[in-house]
Amino acid sequence: MFKGGFIQNLPKIYGLYTGGFLVFILLMAVLESAGVSAASIGIMFVAFTVLIYALIGYLSRTIQVDAYYVAGRQVPTVFNGMATAADWMSGASFVAMAGGIYFGGYTYMAFLVGWTGGYVLVSTLLAPYLRKFGCYTVPDFIGTRYGGNLPRFCATLVLVLASFTYVTAQINATGTIASRALQIPFELGVWVGLVSILMCSMLGGMRAVTWTQVAQYIVLITAYLIPVFWMGSKLGNPFPHFMLGDEVQRLAELEASAGLVKNSAADIKAAGVPGGLKYISNPHSAVPAGGMAVWKYLSLAICMMVGTASLPHILMRYFTTPSVKSARKSVAWSLFFIFLLYFSAPMLATLSKLQLMDPNLPTAIIGKSIAEVKSIPWVQNWSAVKQVFIADFNGDGILQLNEWFMRGDVVVLATPEVAGLPYVISGLVAAGGMAAAMSTADGLVLAISNCLSHDIYYKIIDPKADVKKRLIVARVLLVVIGAAAAYISSMRLTSILGAVAWAFDFAMSGLFFPLVLGVWWKRATKEGAVAGILGGLISGTAYLIYVGPKFMANTPWLGIDHLRFGIIGASVSLVAMVVVSLMTKEPSSSIQKMVDDVRIPSGRAILGKQH
Amino acid sequence: MSNKEAHWQKTKNHMFVTLAIWFFFSIVIFMFGESVNQGSFLGYPLAYYMSAQGSLAAFVILIFWFANKQEKIDDEHGYGGEKEDD
C-alpha cells in the first residue's frame, strides 16, 4: 500500500495514525461503559500514547550528522508546521493557559497575543534567512556571521540559560501528569517523564523529534478540541468560538452582581489556603482602566513576541525544511496549527467559568451552601489533592466568588469532570497534556545538547572529531542535560508559568538583536555582537534578581516586573550592540558578501551540507 | 540599481509593510483597549474579542499573505528557485 519513500507517504501514514488514535478513544469509551475503572483508563491512555512516540523515535534512528541535527533538511512545509506547533505549545499552553485566562481575564490574554504575534517577527525577520544560511544551531549562525569563537560561546550561554529554564518547567509538567495518570509519586513521575522524552530523541536526534512531534500534535489538538466542542454543544453552542458572545456578557453581569471582592493576604493565610491556589478577582472581559494597565498588557505582549522570535528551539525547526521558500510558508502553517488551540483556550475558560457561576446551570457552585458543594464528588476529589479549597470568610455558610480557590491547571484537567463528560475525556486530556509537555521538552533538550555538541565540542574543542564521535558526544550530552533538568524539576523550584516567561525574557535579552541585526545590518560587528549578547544578558539577569519576588523583591521600575525583565535586557542589548559596532572597524568584505548572499532566497546554502 | 539591490529594496519594503500591520493588531488596538471594548463583534466586547481571537487570526492571515507576496517578489527577480537549493 505504500509506494515511494517515507516522505511521499507522510499524509497516508499520519492519516492512518489519526484514525488509529480515534479508534483507540472509542475503544476506551467502550471499556468505560463496560465498567473498567477510571484509573485503568487513565493509565492506558498515557502509556499507549507514550509507547507510540517511543516506537516512532526508534524507527527514526540515524547515524548521519545531517539527519541528527536538521532531520536531513527534508521535512515538508505543513508537517514542519505541525511539529513546530507541538514544539511550541508546552505544558503551560495546554494545561495552564485556559486557567490563566479563567483567573486573569482580559489582562492575561496578553499572552495569547504575544505567543502568536511573535511568529510575524519570525517569518519576516529571521526564519528564511537562517534557513538560507544552512546552520545546524542558532549559535552556529552567530559564530559564522560575526566570526570567531567568542560570539559563538556567548550565544551558547544564552541558549543554554533560556532553554534550561524552560525545560525544567516542561519536565515538571510531564512529572505532574505522569504521576496523576499512572498513580505514582511526583518525584518518580519526573523520571518516567524523562525516560519517555529521551526515548523519542536519543536515537534519531532532530529526525526522531520531528516525527514524534507531529504525532504529539495530533494527540494534543484532539484532546483539547473534543472537550471544548462537547461542552459547547451541551450548553447549546455547538461551535463555541463564534457563539459565546452572550455568555461573555452574562459573565460580566454575574461578576457585577457577585462583586469582585479582593481578599486580604492575612485572611488567605488565616484560612490556610494551600499555595498556588487562586480565586477570581479580575473581570473576565472588561478592560482595566488607566495607562498603567495598558502598559502592563503591552509590555507583556512585547516580551512574549520578541522572546518567541529569539527562542532557539523554535528557530531551529525552520532549519529542517527543504528550501527558503518552504521555511517561510512553514512559519505560516505553524501559526495556523497553534491558532487552533489558542483561540479555543478563552472559550474553554468562558465555558468552565459559566458552569461554576451561573445559578441557572445545574453545575453551578457559587451561591450554593458550602455543605452542599463539599459533597459534590469532583470537589471532593480535587480537594483531597489540595487543588481546590473553600474558605468561608464571612461565615454565612454560602459559597461566595471570593471564597472559592482553585489551581489554574484544574480548569483544563477537571472541566470534563465538572461538565459531567465521561471519564474517557479526562484520560484523553491527560494524554494531550503529556504530549504537549513531552514535545516541548524534547525540542528544548535537543536544542541544548545539539548546541553544546556542535558549537562547543566540535567547533571549539575538537574540530577534527569524526562523525561517529560527534554523534556519541551529542547523545551523551542529551542524557546528561535531561537528567540535570529532571533533577532540578524534582526539587520544584518555581511555578510552571514563572519559569516559562523567564525563558522568553532571557532569550530576547541576549539573542534577539544579535540575530536580527546579523541579517538586517551589515555594519554589525563581532565586538558589537558580543557587547549586545553579554550586555543584554547581564543587565536582564541583574534586573530579574533586583525585582524577582523570590530574590531581592524590590519594587519594579515602571511596572516592569520579573515576567517582563526582557524589556530592560533587550533595550540594553540594542544600545550596546549599535554603539560598539559603530566604534569598531567595519566587518570584512567577505562577511559583507556573506550577508548579501543570505538575503538572496535561492541558490546554495552558505554553509555546506556537511560541516 | 542592480537586480540584487532592487530585490532587496522590495523585500525590505514588504517587511516594513508587514510589520506595520502587525504593529496595528498587536499594539495599537490594545493601546486603546478601553474604548475599543465599547464596540462589539458577534456579541463579544471588541477588545476582548481581538485579544481572544481577532488579532490571532489576523496574524495567521498576515503571515500567509507575507509568504505568498515574498514568493512573487523572488520570482520577479529570478530568485524563485526550485524545491532543492542545497
Domains, in order of start, for chain A: 39-237+246-255+266-376+378-392+394-498 (1.20.1730.10)
pLDDT of residue A489 exceeding 80, the answer is: no
Q: How many Cβ pairs closer than 8 A exist between chain A and B?
A: 165
Cα–Cα distance for residue pair A289/A294, rounded to 1 Å: 8
User: Nearest Cα to A594, choosing from A134, A78, A25, A111?
Assistant: A134
Are A582 and A595 contacting, i.e. CB atoms less than 8 angstroms apart? no
- Say whether residue A346 is in contact with chain B using an 8 A CB cutoff: yes
A20 part of contact set with chain B, CB < 8 Å:
no
**Residues of B whose CB is below 8 A from A123:** 63, 66-67
Helix axes A38-59, A149-182, angle to 10 degrees: 150
Residues 443-502 on A with a CB inside 8 Å of B are none
- For residue A50, the one-letter residue type is V
**Of how many residues is chain A composed?**
611
Q: What is the Cα A53 distance to its own chain's centre?
A: 19
Minimum distance, in Å, between the CA of residue A295 and any CA atom of chain B: 8
Q: What is the β-pairing status of strands A404-406 and A388-390? A: antiparallel
Q: Report domain extents, chain B.
A: 3-76
Rounded CA separation A132/A239 (Å): 41
* pLDDT above 90 (res A573): yes
Contact (Cβ atoms closer than 8 angstroms) between residue B48 and residue A285: yes
Strands A388-390 and B44-45: unpaired
Kindly report, residue by residue over B26-65, the tens digit of the pLDDT. Answer: 999 898 888 888 888 887 888 888 998 999 999 999 999 9
- CA nearest to A116, candidates A260, A253, A299, A307: A307
Q: What amino acid occupies position A409?
A: D
Angle, in degrees to the nearest 10, between helices A345-357 and A97-104: 50
Q: Are A505 and A569 in contact (CB under 8 A)?
A: yes
Contacts for A62 with CB less than 8 Å, ≥ 6 apart: A68, A203, A204, A205, A207, A208
DSSP string, A467-532: HHHHHHHHHHHHHHHHHHHHHHHHT--S-HHHHHHHHHHHHHHHTHHHHHHHHH-TT--HHHHHHH
Nearest to B14 by CA among B58, B53, B62, B61: B62
Q: Is A560 helix (H, G, I), strand (E, B) or coil?
A: strand
CB contact under 8 A, A331 and B70: no
Per-residue confidence (pLDDT) for residue B25, from 0 to 100 = 94
Strand ranges for A518-586 from DSSP E: none
- Determine contact: B72 vs chain A, CB below 8 A: no
Check pLDDT > 90 for residue A610: no
Q: How far apart are CA A399 and CA A419, in angstroms?
A: 19
> Around Cβ A290, how many Cβ atoms within 10 Å?
10
pLDDT tens for A185-215 read: 888 888 888 888 888 888 888 888 899 999 9
The fraction of chain A above a pLDDT of 70, given in percent, is: 97
**Angle (nearest 5°) at CA A159 between A547 and A465:** 150
Put simply, the chain B residues between 23 and 52 with a CB less than 8 A from any chain A CB are 25-27, 30-31, 33-34, 36-37, 40, 42-45, 47-48, 51-52
DSSP B5: H
The pLDDT, as a whole number, for residue B84 is 44
Residue A227: alpha-carbon gap to chain centroid: 21
CA A552 remoteness from chain centre: 27
Predicted confidence band at B83 (pLDDT cuts at 50, 70, 90)? very low
Indicate whether A593 pLDDT > 80. Answer: yes
Residue B56: alpha-carbon gap to chain centroid = 11
Q: Do A328 and B70 touch (CB under 8 A)?
A: yes
A593–B contact, CB cutoff 8 A = no
A94 and chain B: CB distance < 8 Å anywhere? no
Looking at A202-323, list the stretches that DSSP marks H as alpha helix, in order from N- to C-terminal side: 205-234, 240-243, 245-258, 265-271, 291-308, 312-315
Q: In whole angstroms, what is the distance from residue A602 CA to residue B80 CA?
A: 6
Inter-axis angle of helices A149-182 and A496-510, to 10 degrees?
Answer: 170
Residue A2 pLDDT = 53
Rank A416-425, A457-466, A472-481, A575-584 by mean pLDDT and report only the highest.
Answer: A575-584
Q: A117 and chain B: CB distance < 8 Å anywhere? A: yes
Residue A442 confidence (pLDDT) above 50: yes
User: Does the structure show a pLDDT above 90 at A305?
Assistant: yes
Q: Which residue of B has its CA nearest to A123?
A: B63
Q: Average the pLDDT over each of A104-113, A196-205, A307-316 and give the range with the smallest value.
A: A196-205
AA letter at B12: K
Q: How many CB atoms lie within 10 A of CB A488?
A: 18
Say what the pLDDT of residue A1 is.
Answer: 45
Euclidean distance between CA atoms A537 and A533, whole angstroms: 6
The minimum CA-CA distance between A491 and chain B, rounded to whole Å, is: 35
Q: What is the mean pLDDT of residues A146-162?
A: 89
Q: Does A249 touch chain B (CB under 8 A)?
A: yes
Q: How many helices (H) and strands (E) does chain A have?
A: 29, 2
Give the whole-angstrom CA distance, residue B39 versus residue B37: 5
Residue A33: pLDDT over 80: yes
- Average pLDDT estimate for A8-33: 89
Burial of A546: CB neighbours in 10 Å, binned 0-12, 13-18, 19+: middle
What amino acid is encoded at A247 in this protein? E
